[in-house]
Structure 1
Amino acid sequence: MPGAGRSVASATTTTPDDPLADLGWGPDLDAALPIGLAPARVVRSDRGWVTALGRFGEVRLRFDPLHPLSPTPTTGDWVASAPGDDLVAAILPRRTALVRAGAHDEATPQVLAADVDLVGVCVPLSSPPRAGRIQRYVTLGWASGATPLLVLTKADGALGPQAASEVAAMAPGVEVVVVSARDGRGIDDLRARLRGGRTMVLVGPSGVGKSTLVNALVGRDAMATGAVRESDAKGRHTTSTRELVLVPGGGVLLDTPGLRALVPWDDGDGLARAFPDIAPLLGTCRFSDCQHRGQPGCALEAAVAAGQLASGRLEGWQRLHDDLSRIEAETETRLRTSRSRPGRSGRSGRGGRR
């Protein structure tokens, strides 16, 4: 294995010239680093191994199969190893974690990325925006503990400025950046947001221009790009793994494979922050168990009737709320089943940060 037997150099306190600073290393991580271990940031995670960047470049570190790590290291994590050893000895506490419900098992969380500061929700201006999809990605972003950012790609597309205003209205309270990899519009704005060692993960379905945007930001072909069918604006999956890419001038980007179906994993206030126009109305209905679907005295439906809340916003919230409630019920069922087994104390595993 490349890099086997190598490790990053022993840890020292971060200085302005520390190469780890551009990767997001800070005093909180320095304080959490076990004595005698050296830090590195996971660039990509493979079965049983991680590729990571430390103070002296790239290293390959392995997991101990006899002592499984919890949580399993993922792209963006900070790990630590002993000098001269290629074994991951520790995973430092995550500041944030981008987590979705499992694609094949919704009651099992899947961590997409760790320790990100910004979640760039990529929406192309070359095809009509889909409110439900945008709301899901924005909820995913808020639930991670990071800050979502609407990145409107393909600004030279056919829809133009009016579409940008429509997209912004679909995610109240979320900043919008309009970019074009073709003419460079908005690229410097995004680069500026990454200075100081900040990390942005780009999310969205295939064909929205994530990999093309990465290449524009780093100034080289760091990611493969694919064509988009004109008939339905759907793209090929050109990104098959999650991998960190360094941005000149400081900061880190993380491209993700396109997600066809997404249910956010929200064990906090992600849904409430994605729907700031609905959250204050909850708990003000006539009945405490109001389902917000035709029940008398529903505050949400009254707001729609009065023109104070768009019906599409309520419908989007209902769909997401239904999904999250279903996953929570399934998780609780598994927890009870696990606890009922002799000698077991189950945990729901909700979240992804620790």
Structure 2
Amino acid sequence: MAALGWSDFFDAQLGADETSLARLRIATVHRSRLTAEGPAGAVKVNLPATSKTTDFAVGDWVLADPETRMFLRRLDRHALLERKTEGARVPQLIAANVDTLFIVTSCNDDFNPARLERYLALANEAETQPVIVLTKADQARTVTPFEEQAKALQRGLSVVTLNAKTPEAAQVLAPWCGPGQTVALVGSSGVGKSTLLNTLANKTGEDAQATGGIREDDAKGRHTTTARSLHTTQAGGCVIDTPGIRTLHLSDVAAGLDVLFAEIAELAPDCKFRDCTHAHEPGCAVQAGIAAGSVMPDRLERWRKLADENQDNTPQTTGPRGNKKPQGKRRKR
């Protein structure tokens, strides 16, 4: 159970009458069925008519009847990665109970700092440790510019560079993939996520995840992974693979943006006006930071764009406590 990620956090949620129930970790979520991993291996989870598969994320822990595998209860998550999708009323669940998010990009035209910032905000909001994984290092003339740009995105950010096809890649990522640890892979199609999964999980032959190359003219890849899935790593942990994401809309990640743009968030409380936009108001501490060189103007512009998007996409609540109702979009600053 520990190898699958079971910990004291989940054990503490068990009632006295639940200790004999099957503890299963969701491995795949399909339109009409769930599969899970348990001590005896992979099993199908049966759902009552009142439950929907969309309520579950890969990585969830559930309790089920040990004989019938009928779902009884989902345990609380210690982390949840989710994203807003265009036109959807509820967020799409990406993965649950993830300790580390490997944000995978390659040392070519796929490398996009603005897109990486979106993934970082997502990980920060979930209180999941982000790690930038730069792949295809063997194909780049030099990896230094990619590493320097990635490290500048957030304070204390871990950045690793590797060739996902080599066994050494598993060694580089070993600090985050040990027994009981869960990592998730996110990034665009064609950056090497499936290749990296095969290396981490030691999958070969028919067991290997299908991989695909990228178009040389625009560095974009085809979707070789079509569903989220959980696998065990050769280091004793778990890895969750996800389909490539081309567009990531931000919603309800204000705290994540504060971590991402810490130099701005730390100065904002010192502004003269509480609703300062950090653009033109007198007594703006952030503008003073730009003048002093502690805040870069391009960072402020990217913060403003993401903060506005997050504000527009996050439902606001109004009304008395206990009777709050969603409010429409607020006007941009």
Matches within 5 A, 1:148-187: 148-158=130-140, 159-187=142-170
Other-structure match for 1:90: 73
Other-structure match for 1:191: 174
Are 1:60 and 2:44 matched, yes or no? yes
Q: Aligned partners of 1:185, 1:309: CA distance in 2, in Å? A: 37
Mark the CA change 1:57 to 1:179 in structure 2 (over 3 Å): closer, same or farther. Answer: same
Q: What secondary structure sits across from 1:228 in the alignment?
A: coil
Matches within 5 A, 1:296-311: 296-311=282-297
Moved more, 212-221 or 181-190: 181-190
Mark the CA change 1:127 to 1:187 in structure 2 (over 3 Å): closer, same or farther. Answer: farther
Matches within 5 A, 1:240-251: 240-251=226-237
Mark the CA change 1:266 to 1:157 in structure 2 (over 3 Å): closer, same or farther. Answer: farther
Q: What secondary structure sits across from 1:112 in the alignment?
A: strand
Other-structure match for 1:323: 309
Q: What secondary structure sits across from 2:37 in the alignment?
A: strand
Among 79, 99, 104, the residue aligned to 1:122: 104
Q: Aligned partners of 1:86, 1:186: CA distance in 2, in Å? A: 37
Q: Identical aligned pairs, as a percentage?
A: 36
Q: Aligned partners of 2:247, 2:235: CA distance in 1, in Å? A: 35
Mark the CA change 1:268 to 1:302 in structure 2 (over 3 Å): closer, same or farther. Answer: closer
TM-score of the superposed pair, with normalisation by structure 2:
0.88
Q: Aligned partners of 1:142, 1:301: CA distance in 2, in Å? A: 25
Q: What secondary structure sits across from 1:89 in the alignment?
A: strand
Other-structure match for 1:287: 273
Q: Aligned partners of 2:188, 2:288: CA distance in 1, in Å? A: 34
Q: Aligned partners of 1:24, 1:276: CA distance in 2, in Å? A: 31
| Contact kept in structure 1, 2:121 and 2:260, CA below 8 Å | yes
Matches within 5 A, 1:191-340: 191-221=174-204, 222-266=208-252, 269-328=255-314, 331-332=315-316
Mark the CA change 1:93 to 1:305 in structure 2 (over 3 Å): closer, same or farther. Answer: same
Other-structure match for 2:28: 44
Q: Deviations over 1:235-264 (max 9, x none)?
A: 111111000111113001111111111123
Other-structure match for 1:27: 8
AA aligned opposite 2:223: H
Deviation at 1:189, TM superposition (A): 2.4
Q: Deviations over 1:32-62 (max 9, x none)?
A: 1341321010000112321001111111012
Deviation at 1:185, TM superposition (A): 4.3
| Structure 2 residues not aligned, in runs of 5+ | 328-333
Mark the CA change 1:267 to 1:126 in structure 2 (over 3 Å): closer, same or farther. Answer: closer
Q: What secondary structure sits across from 1:122 in the alignment?
A: strand
AA aligned opposite 2:28: R
Q: Aligned partners of 1:205, 1:251: CA distance in 2, in Å? A: 24
TM-score of the superposed pair, with normalisation by structure 1:
0.83
- Aligned-CA RMSD value: 2.3
Other-structure match for 2:331: none
| Contact kept in structure 2, 1:61 and 1:87, CA below 8 Å | yes
Q: Aligned partners of 2:191, 2:265: CA distance in 1, in Å? A: 30
Q: Deviations over 1:123-172 (max 9, x none)?
A: 21123632211111111111112111111111113242232122111232
| Contact kept in structure 2, 1:48 and 1:62, CA below 8 Å | no
Q: Aligned partners of 2:115, 2:253: CA distance in 1, in Å? A: 20
Are 1:135 and 2:117 matched, yes or no? yes
Corresponding pairs, count:
318
Q: Aligned partners of 2:252, 2:209: CA distance in 1, in Å? A: 30
